[in-house]
């Protein structure tokens, strides 16, 4: 849909009164995205499936952060959150799980279902739920937190950077669910048109609960800067693309 290779260096200031929702905003990358949007003056709702965790995160973020109970796999929870939040300009679909498993023979159908239920179907359900509110926004933005491990181009390169043996970044269930997130991002961007900016983010390997136990990964706050750039894209910014956290374009 567009061919630019790098996001604009300058981050647009949000319009006064801009409202964002970060799903899974109680920890890791989502928490850092919430913090950085708050710092820029955006009104931020943290979606948390465990309201206690959400409230603790909001307390840490300061008085202006808002919390909503939101389990992306539960349609009634999504509907209640839509009702409560009302107007929305920025949706950061960040909630995600890695149910484990390895390659084809080392993955169960249950692990696949778990990954797809949250990472794909949940993301779609939340996007559908908030679409009427986003359509009312003057600058609607959707950021889907994906993963480089879902990039078919990277995975099919002669030297794939994600090693099956180490299963760094997950197995078949997690990685293929993120490939699906990429496809959903592109098709959603195409169907919503240029008024919307719908992009996916490859945040890089980060030290969060998702990869607990692994001794690798960078600061989630660094990845969050990429999400914030996509959340605050100017009206002539790109849509329908996958971006690395540093603002460079990543291949599907």
What backbone torsions phi and psi does residue 43 show, to the nearest 5 degrees?
-80, 120
- Beta strands 66-69 and 197-202 are unpaired
∠ Cα 9 146 117 (to 5°): 155
CB of 10 to ligand NAP, least distance (A): 25
CB 209, CB 96: distance < 8 Å: no
The answer to the question of residue 209 lying near ligand NAP (CB under 6 A) is yes
Out of 53, 56, 66, 249, which residue is the one contacting ligand NAP (CB under 6 A)?
A: 53
For residue 42, CA distances in Å to 19, 78, 89, 176 come to 6, 21, 10, 33
Out of 26, 43, 127, 179, which residue is the one contacting ligand NAP (CB under 6 A)?
A: 26
CB 145, CB 93: distance < 8 Å: yes
Residue 178 known to be catalytic: yes
Out of 37, 82, 97, 232, which residue is the one contacting ligand NAP (CB under 6 A)?
A: 97
Based on the number of CB atoms within 10 Å of its own CB, is 224 exposed (0-12), middle (13-18) or buried (19 or more)?
buried
Residue 38 CA to residue 101 CA, distance in Å, equals 36
Nearer to ligand NAP, 74 or 194 (CB): 74
Out of 7, 18, 19, 28, which residue is the one contacting ligand NAP (CB under 6 A)?
A: 28
Q: Of the residues 53, 116, 174, 197, which is catalytic? A: 174
Out of 19, 20, 29, 131, which residue is the one contacting ligand NAP (CB under 6 A)?
A: 29
The answer to the question of residue 30 lying near ligand NAP (CB under 6 A) is yes
The answer to the question of residue 206 lying near ligand NAP (CB under 6 A) is yes
Out of 61, 72, 233, 250, which residue is the one contacting ligand NAP (CB under 6 A)?
A: 72
Looking at residues 122 to 181 of the shown chain, list those that interact with ligand NAP (rule: CB under 6 A). 122, 145, 147
CB of 72 to ligand NAP, least distance (A): 4
Residue 144 CA to residue 141 CA, distance in Å, equals 10
Crossing angle for the helix pair 75-85 and 123-136, nearest 10 degrees? Answer: 20
Out of 11, 18, 21, 27, which residue is the one contacting ligand NAP (CB under 6 A)?
A: 27
Residue 53 known to be catalytic: no
Residue among 123, 90, 94 at smallest CA distance from 27? 94
Q: Which stretch binds ligand NAP (CB under 6 A): 84-92, 134-142, 205-213, 243-251?
A: 205-213
Catalytic residues, by residue number, are: 174, 178
Where along the sequence are the contacts to ligand NAP (CB under 6 A)? 23-24, 26-30, 49-50, 53, 70-73, 94-97, 118, 122, 145, 147, 203, 205-206, 208-211, 217, 220
């Amino acid at each position: 849909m567009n061919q630019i290779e790098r996001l604009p260096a300058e981050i647009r200031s949000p319009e006064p009164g801009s409202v964002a929702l970060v799903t899974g905003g109680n920890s890791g990358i989502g928490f850092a995205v919430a913090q950085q949007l708050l710092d820029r003056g955006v009104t931020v709702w943290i979606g948390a499936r465990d309201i206690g965790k959400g409230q603790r995160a909001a307390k840490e973020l300061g008085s202006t952060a808002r919390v909503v109970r939101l389990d992306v796999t539960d349609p009634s929870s999504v509907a209640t959150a839509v009702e409560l939040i009302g107007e929305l300009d920025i949706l950061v679909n960040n909630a995600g799980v890695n149910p484990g498993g390895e390659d084809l023979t080392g993955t169960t159908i249950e692990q696949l279902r778990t990954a797809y239920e949250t990472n794909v179907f949940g993301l779609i359900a939340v996007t559908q739920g908030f679409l009427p509110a986003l359509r009312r926004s003057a600058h609607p933005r959707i950021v889907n937190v994906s993963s480089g491990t879902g990039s078919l181009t990277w995975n099919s390169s002669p030297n794939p950077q994600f090693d099956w043996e180490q299963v760094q970044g997950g197995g078949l269930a997690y990685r293929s669910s993120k490939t699906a997130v990429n496809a959903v991002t592109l098709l959603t961007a195409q169907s919503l048109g240029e008024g919307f900016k719908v992009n996916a983010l490859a945040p890089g390997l980060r030290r969060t609960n998702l990869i607990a136990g692994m001794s690798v990964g960078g600061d989630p706050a660094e990845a969050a800067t990429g999400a914030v750039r996509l959340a605050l894209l100017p009206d002539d910014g790109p849509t329908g693309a996958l971006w690395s956290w540093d603002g460079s374009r990543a291949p599907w």
